[in-house]
Structure 1
């Protein structure tokens, strides 16, 4: 099922046309191709009077099969994020009359400036003949990192056949088509992106060398994490000073709430309080929480986040790109584990596949995120030696907690 979450306009807020700078091959306004979805939400939150109605659409049953889309219906455009990397791959203006775009010092689109074929050609200059989609009746004109789609009336379709179009396109009656869609995409791969199947060709631009975004984090169960880009090793028992040295300053620090599952431990007779002495280091940009023992100040747990939409923590963390191998590989070096033919558990692995790799673990505990008003419902927590999985209703992993049994 395609899910849609809406942020509603506050009463009294006026809907008006906005002007955004158009940057072919780069982005529009504050939104840049390749940006993580969390950065896009941050831009939206900084300008609530402009982006006051926002729809977030995703496929909740199979979240990796379709884009995550942030749509602005008042302004006629939306942002398409790759579902795996959660980076912006395509910007589409689907209602050009609702959005005025500024290119250099000129305006195009919006209610006052029609984006006709002649106007587009005059503003952006000469280019090669475009592509006519006979099935959709749409002619697409391409520039580097930018395309314009024009609907062609049925009586003039012969004007667009066989690549014999004279530019700028004008019909025999002296009229010129008006664009129905503008696409902004990365042009570094040389692909042309437009409507229909051409839309799928858009991809996020390459990450800069040395970027830690979505770096692989190899998990050695019961022992340590290994960060493959920075080559840091963070073992259980490390101190806060060790972590600061390897990963830098945390994004946040907060004290841990008492574990509600501790009631199931017959050996723990301590009185219950709201807070305990343990504390977390939050690395939101790495999708990672590190729990320290409040008395020894040593690492006792790691929590890795997948940042799937449909979970209560969505958009709180960047996705952690972890790689976990079966328990029988524990004890070897990371290189030995990596070179083995074992199946790995990653953020894309579904729960049924996890059970095939690690075996069945029995009944699950139900987790409600501490609030009956949580719109996403409860999740299930399954435990194995040294690792616990929080699983969403669609079978995908929400978080992984690592500990030493």
Structure 2
């Protein structure tokens, strides 16, 4: 069962997939220090993680998605596997995997080389970890939490230290492997897997925040800036493509390649507000979309002229019904104050991006009056309505938390 769970006192849940079954025993996943575990690789977009989950429903049959409902960019978006005791933590802005956190080592076995550690049968004790992964430098002792962090490149183990044995740690200068005077050795309570390219030390508490996403491969189109000139065109910063209003499907194929999907447009529910369009409302119209899910973009063509009439840009925020349908579009909208060529970085304060909240949009473009209320059906949308605000050449769909869910571009 896959659920979205806002990290908020008033929690709401949405079941996207349900596979009935009992809790399973510990599974074994290949551990790759600095790279990932099992099918999950550091730096992967959240949509790829969901794709891996969907491919193995018998293993990942209970999945929770957690996020901060009011400020989704403030905290990680987390995919949690309660049956298997681990989290995937995604950077909230780029929506890429920055940290894998195993919080219940008894529920998950890790396979490293030809050995297993963790689970019910192979306790991840300090001595066992040290024997499997080899010598390393003294770790970091967190006095406040009573936790000793043992660090390897791209991998850390947290061990709780009983109060009577804190002297054994001696500010991180413990004898390794760590054994207590009574002959026992601590068992790890948490394992973190992170990118080690920057040499940062990652562990529990504040050390967990030091994990960053690995750099994108050279030439990657992920999070490519898509610049908008209102009423004119889109410009893609990495590929250099220009896609203007009025372009044909052939033009779009040439610039952006084959679309991920094509579908006929449903009737425009907002047409009733347009006095200039007397067409009767029917279930379908002749217009059709090119869907570029991997770019976070839809392109609407006029069914008669076969020319672009609208662009729809998606921010892919959790808490919206379309979450995980599109990769986040990293758009930059230059306000109508600018004419001619695209403005330089000095004018960035006048730009609207996927991170810009609605109050900031109004400061840039001015007040536009009351919003239209948009719903996607009360039975399949537990997140409630969104609000659509229209300006010349652009409309913003705004979520209740004030973040923009979609931007629709058109020519007035």
Asked whether the two chains share a fold, i.e. TM above 0.5, the reply is yes
Asked whether the 8 Å contact 2:230–2:393 carries over to 1, the reply is: yes
Quote the residue 2:384 is aligned against.
377
1:78 deviates by 0.5
The alignment partner of 2:199 has SS state of: coil
Q: Residues 342 and 197 (structure 1 numbering): CA distance in 2 closer, same or farther, change over 3 Å?
A: closer
Displacement after TM superposition at 1:5 (Å): 3.8
Distance 2:341 2:233 in 1: 11
Given candidates 321, 343, 346, the residue that maps to 2:353 is 346
Give the secondary-structure state (helix, strand or coil) at the position aligned to 1:327.
Answer: coil
CA distance in 2, matches of 1:42, 1:320: 19
Per-residue CA deviations over 1:40-59 (Å, capped at 9, x if unaligned) read: 01111111110011111000
Counterpart mapping for 1:246-395 below 5 A: 246-329=255-338, 331-334=339-342, 336=343, 338-340=345-347, 342-395=349-402
Supply the distance in 1 between the matched residues of 2:100 and 2:41 (Cα, whole angstroms). 9
Q: Which residue of 2 aligns with 1:168?
A: 177
Aligned pairs, number: 403
Question: 1:9 & 1:269 partners in 2: Cα distance?
Answer: 44
Q: Unaligned stretches of 5+ in structure 1?
A: none
CA distance in 2, matches of 1:362, 1:22: 54
Distance (whole Å) between structure 2 residues aligned to residue 357 and residue 204 of structure 1: 31
Could you tell me how far apart the structure 1 residues matched to 2:246 and 2:344 are? 22
* Equivalent runs, 1:81-92 vs 2, <5 Å: 81-92=90-101
Q: Which runs of 4+ in 1 moved over 3 A?
A: 3-14, 336-342, 370-373
Distance 1:378 1:371 in 2: 9
RMSD: 1.4
Shift of residue 273, structure 1, vs aligned partner: 1.5
1:183-233 Cα offsets, whole Å, 9 max, x none, are 000000100100000000001100011111001111000000000000100
Structure 2 unmatched runs, 5+ = 1-6
Deviation, structure 1 residue 289: 0.2
**TM-score normalised over the length of structure 1:** 0.97
Aligned to 2:245: 236
- 2:166 counterpart SS class: helix
Q: Is the 8 A contact 2:393 2:410 kept in 1?
A: yes
**Cα gap change, 1:14/1:130 in structure 2, threshold over 3 Å: closer, same or farther?**
closer
How far did 1:370 drift?
A: 4.2
The answer to whether the aligner puts 1:204 opposite 2:213 as a matched pair is: yes
Measure, in 2, the Cα distance between the counterparts of 1:164 and 1:311: 49
SS in 2 for 1:92: strand
- Secondary structure, aligned partner of 1:219: strand
Q: CA separation of 1:342/1:198 partners in 2, compared to 1, >3 Å: closer, same or farther? A: closer
Contact 1:326 1:342 in 2 (8 A): no
Output the CA distance in 2 between the equivalents of 1:57 and 1:27. 20
